Amino acid sequence: MKIIMLGAPGAGKGTQAKKIAAKYDIPHISTGDIFRANIKSGTDLGKKAKTFMDQGLLVPDELVVDLVVDRVGQDDCSKGYVLDGFPRTIPQAEALDAALAKVDQKMDYAINVEVPDENIIQRMSGRRACVDCGATYHIVYAPTKKEGICDNCGGSLILRDDDKPETVQKRLGVYHEQTQPLIEYYTDKNILVEVDGTIDINDVFTEIVKVLGE
């Protein structure tokens, strides 16, 4: 079961990807997690990725495609996987399809979590991230036990540059221009599934399971 999660930044696709991965025992592959790990380690890739992410821009294809294709070829992906944050553009989607075709594979589902822009701006401006372990919270929907302190490791929480309202607006603009065309791309391939991301998180997941099966 090979699944791609689609949706604007902050739509909740990452949360749903984790729930899908847990239920179906397949890896959750997030390019965001890979980038953050590299940024924290100070690698060349991390420094390059951070430059783009801090501006609310997409990380260029050449920093992403080979990394993802290599990852999905690993043993733990034999039963499938959930891609979260990739592909983000038509060229990336085409590169992924071409790489999978070489090993006689293809994606099974592209799940689009649909949320209006105004909801996303409100959601993301309330997000907080731990400077030490990277755990994320929300001051309204998922607050920490102690304000400003990470529940996991006790680190300090910050509003990341890419979650500030002005950056979110820019990220949404980039999304609509470059990533939203994927909806039509996967519709044409007859694998697109659309779910309402404004309803309760668990209800969104219930709708997804109805499509994927128990």
Kindly report the pTM of this predicted structure.
0.76
Q: Which of 2, 13, 36, 50 is catalytic?
A: 13
pLDDT band at 67 (very low <50, low <70, confident <90, very high): confident
13 annotated active-site: yes
| Long-range contact pairs involving 179-185 (C-beta distance under 8 Å, separation at least 24) | 179/6, 179/8, 179/58, 179/88, 179/89, 181/89, 181/90, 182/6, 182/87, 182/88, 182/89, 182/90, 182/93, 182/110, 183/6, 183/112, 185/90, 185/93
Q: Is the predicted pLDDT of residue 41 greater than 90, yes or no?
A: no
Q: Which of 2, 50, 127, 128 is catalytic?
A: 127
The amino acid sitting at 73 is G
Q: Is the predicted pLDDT of residue 58 greater than 90, yes or no?
A: no
pLDDT band at 10 (very low <50, low <70, confident <90, very high): confident
Per-residue model confidence (pLDDT) at position 9: 86
Per-residue model confidence (pLDDT) at position 188: 97
pLDDT band at 90 (very low <50, low <70, confident <90, very high): very high
Average pLDDT over all residues of the chain: 90
Residue 123 contacts residue 20 (beta carbons within 8 Å):
no
Minimum mean pLDDT range among 37-41, 65-69, 72-76, 143-147:
65-69
Nearest CA-CA partner of 8 in 149, 119, 155: 119
What's the rounded mean pLDDT across residues 157-168?
Answer: 90
Q: Which of 2, 88, 123, 128 is catalytic?
A: 88
CATH class of the domain whose range is 2-115+163-212? alpha beta
Q: Which of 40, 71, 160, 164 is catalytic?
A: 160
Per-residue model confidence (pLDDT) at position 190: 97
127 annotated active-site: yes
Per-residue model confidence (pLDDT) at position 4: 97
What's the rounded mean pLDDT across residues 124-143?
Answer: 90
36 annotated active-site: no
Residues in the chain: 214
For residue 129, what are the CA distances in angstroms to 12, 59, 81, 83, 113?
Answer: 15, 20, 25, 22, 22
Per-residue model confidence (pLDDT) at position 38: 77
pLDDT band at 196 (very low <50, low <70, confident <90, very high): very high
Q: Which of 2, 123, 128, 171 is catalytic?
A: 171
Per-residue model confidence (pLDDT) at position 80: 95
Residue 186 contacts residue 4 (beta carbons within 8 Å):
yes
